[in-house]
Structure 1
């Protein structure tokens, strides 16, 4: 084989070698080789169960149009403490309306933000009605009730009464495409939902919403049981067993705040204390609460607030009263407990969007880019070492004892480097939580390892090329000499 033929062969070998190198997994937890995204055990498929919802069951519930009217009527009646906005549209183009409640609803503040989401499943509509009751109660009792005033003046509450208006109208669980929206989010263990082309518009709306807002915590309302459910929702081996996330104690505390304040949730005979780890109850994949915690730094609970999925309308006021103090106390706990503060640069005095973690807990919460404020929920009654960090700065830590009251803790970070110059790197998303994400935590080492592998392969191929060339050149010169006797050399 001549040199002119050898070069493309070597190039092909190099390209094949580079193509065979491992790529970084797109989803936290890596790729499950048994699941090809289309035929695996958790592949998305049309739901087959379509429960029959009778006209008698629907009577007394607000239709989508009536709910839309009620949301805008609330915005007009309570305009001093609210704003109404949309985060997107459903498959059938119905707006996903949100009510924000705060004493400064159109301003960014260094306060915690909470979101309530109802009607994730179309055949579980109780959350739609209960959330409108909550909004109206806060409006009616602001400056009259201490708890209502505390919530309105010290946090930003966002209420999405229905995530799935199409499923409600069709009277089935999934959306208009018959997809279960609580199985449609990117999953930490399996890549089934990694293809964004198949992601539902309602799911995309929630994901974009979380990226835009700096949510501290959230809860979605469901029907069919009485229990407060917390992460993780799935397990790495798909088996049913208790699988706690890094903030397991904190989530148990949050769930207990809700359950103990409920009329009878904590008395459950099925769930001890009225709370449960999701994977211990039954594993699901592509769920919203795990995604919020991993990618939004948002501590989310899944609240089952009615034994019946679609109770009769005349039961709704009772269900609201049974859940009212639970919802209010859960909101108030964000203000009255945990660690709150801001992160500043020592050289400029300006806030910086650093991150805060608790030593021994493998998760982070990010400070906002506007005020550098952070809000870290932790279980009370323990001592914690709180660590603040920011790229380009030296990290700082301090130990605190958290009792039943909130702790206010600001950090002033010194610039890294001997010259004292502050070097801030741009952040594409200051709100995302990099919890337990190996790829995000060590990008330099991953790329460095790949670079050395590239160089090693190239070196081996070049060595083979040199050896092969030494053996072929003498024969090639002899061939050229003999052929020159038979024909003139082209110059």
Structure 2
């Protein structure tokens, strides 16, 4: 009996050793295949953004020292209470797993609609790139603590509506992977100009829809998303029509290069990059992608957006976060401040009644239109400094106007006063906004006149005509030398 027991024990021990050996061999094979994928990817691209997710998942200490999603939510709400005089907290929706996408707005009049430009920063688009979410909390606290001390901070708070979304992809962060909870890369989930994808809005991820709806509610002038895996400021286009890797600039190529250079040259060492001249790059020339958020912002939302790679390491040790903040602080501040330090800004009015017009602003030679706001008729057109630009304002039902500006020394404030178009007979064409809301009453009055009272109406016309004839004769006798004055033409400044 004892011999049988010992034999059974050795058999079980032997079986467990074989099972363990097979399991390790399978795991090693998986890791080897993953490493081959990484080597192939890095050999074909200089952009280290598609790192093996399985490697991130097996590193249990990656997020040590970083804020968890609960920590982030708590930090945002505590900031809102501590700095309530110049901020508000709101949500633009929820992630797949129901985590709120919380935004911090910073302004001297948060939540109020004003004729100021709006700027947004978005972090953590990819779940395994968490540096951006930490930097945006650093930025919010810096603005709060230095509002009454630092002139640059004061300029931003009083002249810009700044919106910070620290994490667009909280689910991906908690899972330590690039995509969201549905394993979708959110920076490939937007409608694209070159590839017919994501045309059905209901098929997009909830995080993507939240961003799109956000930009329908708020008219952002410019923005940037914070990524990791390289050190460079990337600008549109992100893809090309023939899908080849080559420089493919958008209509505002000069403005985007200027924006990217502001960030790069304000950074501790981004502009000294040996890989990217000046620390900036055109997306299509570097790493073509389709369905990206940056191109969608420019095409569909009138918002000039950059993609900022702020750390060579996607998951740097948490002890490096204060250093990364110091390296990126002036870049983050200067990029926002550039909205009011350059470009052309103004409002569009009607010369008839002085009311604001939601017209359009174009610049000769740049195939891109900026729309003015409905409430104030305000527009904000980001442009690179240059000798001169010809700016044109248009509005349906009004005569367009144009003027030339010089942007070699700071921003230009330019208001347009548009004259209504006139018909051949000289009557002012009715604007769509001036519709007669009493048309029903008018019809009833006409029906009254042409009904049973037609005879009375006819007699009144005869009497009025006779009185008018007598008045004209008396006027000719009394004022024989008088003549009508020529109508004076009103001129208004641009």
- Say which of 296, 310, 316 aligns to 1:291: 296
Which residue does 1:25 correspond to in 2? none
- Say which of 406, 429, 443 aligns to 1:421: 429
Q: Residue deviations 1:4-60, cap 9 Å, x none?
A: xxxxxxxxxxxxxxxxxxxxxxxxxxxxxxxxxxxxxxxxxxx99524332322100
Asked whether the 8 Å contact 1:115–1:217 carries over to 2, the reply is: yes
SS in structure 1 opposite 2:348? strand
SS in structure 1 opposite 2:244? coil
- Say which of 207, 223, 241 aligns to 2:246: 241
Which residue does 1:328 correspond to in 2? 333
SS in structure 1 opposite 2:182? coil
Work out the CA distance in 1 between the residues paired with 2:190 and 2:372. Answer: 24
Work out the CA distance in 2 between the residues paired with 1:386 and 1:110. Answer: 19
Structure 2 length-normalised TM: 0.76
Which residue does 1:135 correspond to in 2? 140
- Say which of 338, 351, 354 aligns to 1:349: 354
Work out the CA distance in 1 between the residues paired with 2:284 and 2:195. Answer: 15
Where does the alignment leave 5 or more consecutive residues of structure 1 unmatched?
1-46, 427-491
Which residue does 1:100 correspond to in 2? 105
Work out the CA distance in 2 between the residues paired with 1:362 and 1:197. Answer: 31
Work out the CA distance in 1 between the residues paired with 2:403 and 2:169. Answer: 44
Which residue does 2:126 correspond to in 1? 121
Which residue does 1:403 correspond to in 2? 408
Is residue 222 from structure 1 mapped to residue 230 from structure 2 by the alignment? no
Is residue 52 from structure 1 mapped to residue 60 from structure 2 by the alignment? no
Distance 1:394 1:253, change over 3 A: same
Shift of 1:195: 2.0
- Say which of 319, 326, 339 aligns to 2:324: 319
Larger radius of gyration: 2
Shift of 1:421: 3.4
Which residue does 2:84 correspond to in 1? 79
Is residue 378 from structure 1 mapped to residue 383 from structure 2 by the alignment? yes
Higher relative contact order, structure no. (Cα contacts within 8 Å, ≥ 6 residues apart): 1
Shift of 1:190: 1.2
Work out the CA distance in 1 between the residues paired with 2:54 and 2:294. Answer: 25
Work out the CA distance in 1 between the residues paired with 2:315 and 2:101. Answer: 21
How many correspondences in the alignment?
A: 380
Asked whether the 8 Å contact 2:397–2:429 carries over to 1, the reply is: no
Is residue 303 from structure 1 mapped to residue 311 from structure 2 by the alignment? no
Asked whether the 8 Å contact 1:391–1:425 carries over to 2, the reply is: no
Work out the CA distance in 1 between the residues paired with 2:256 and 2:123. Answer: 20
Which residue does 1:211 correspond to in 2? 216
- Say which of 248, 256, 275 aligns to 1:251: 256
Q: Residue deviations 1:120-139, cap 9 Å, x none?
A: 00000000000000000000
Structure 1 length-normalised TM: 0.76
- Say which of 175, 179, 183 aligns to 2:180: 175
Shift of 1:425: 6.3
Which residue does 1:275 correspond to in 2? 280
Asked whether the 8 Å contact 1:392–1:425 carries over to 2, the reply is: no
SS in structure 1 opposite 2:215? helix
Work out the CA distance in 2 between the residues paired with 1:218 and 1:134. Answer: 15
Q: What's the Cα RMSD here?
A: 1.3
Work out the CA distance in 2 between the residues paired with 1:414 and 1:204. Answer: 40
Shift of 1:393: 1.1
Work out the CA distance in 2 between the residues paired with 1:86 and 1:340. Answer: 29
Q: Residue deviations 1:53-76, cap 9 Å, x none?
A: 323221000000110000000000
Is residue 362 from structure 1 mapped to residue 367 from structure 2 by the alignment? yes
SS in structure 1 opposite 2:356? coil
Shift of 1:392: 1.3
Work out the CA distance in 1 between the residues paired with 2:140 and 2:391. Answer: 35
Asked whether the 8 Å contact 1:259–1:265 carries over to 2, the reply is: yes
Work out the CA distance in 2 between the residues paired with 1:402 and 1:196. Answer: 40
Shift of 1:193: 1.3
Is residue 202 from structure 1 mapped to residue 207 from structure 2 by the alignment? yes
Shift of 1:148: 0.6
Which residue does 1:166 correspond to in 2? 171
Shift of 1:424: 2.7
Shift of 1:197: 2.7
Is residue 112 from structure 1 mapped to residue 112 from structure 2 by the alignment? no
Where does the alignment leave 5 or more consecutive residues of structure 2 unmatched?
1-49, 435-494
> Counterparts in 2 of 1:453-472, with a 5 A limit?
none
SS in structure 1 opposite 2:370? strand
Distance 1:240 1:307, change over 3 A: same
Q: Residue deviations 1:424-461, cap 9 Å, x none?
A: 369xxxxxxxxxxxxxxxxxxxxxxxxxxxxxxxxxxx
Q: Residue deviations 1:127-160, cap 9 Å, x none?
A: 0000000000000000110011010000100000
- Say which of 312, 336, 342 aligns to 1:337: 342
Asked whether the 8 Å contact 2:348–2:359 carries over to 1, the reply is: yes
Work out the CA distance in 1 between the residues paired with 2:122 and 2:192. Answer: 20
Shift of 1:422: 3.8
SS in structure 2 opposite 1:115? strand
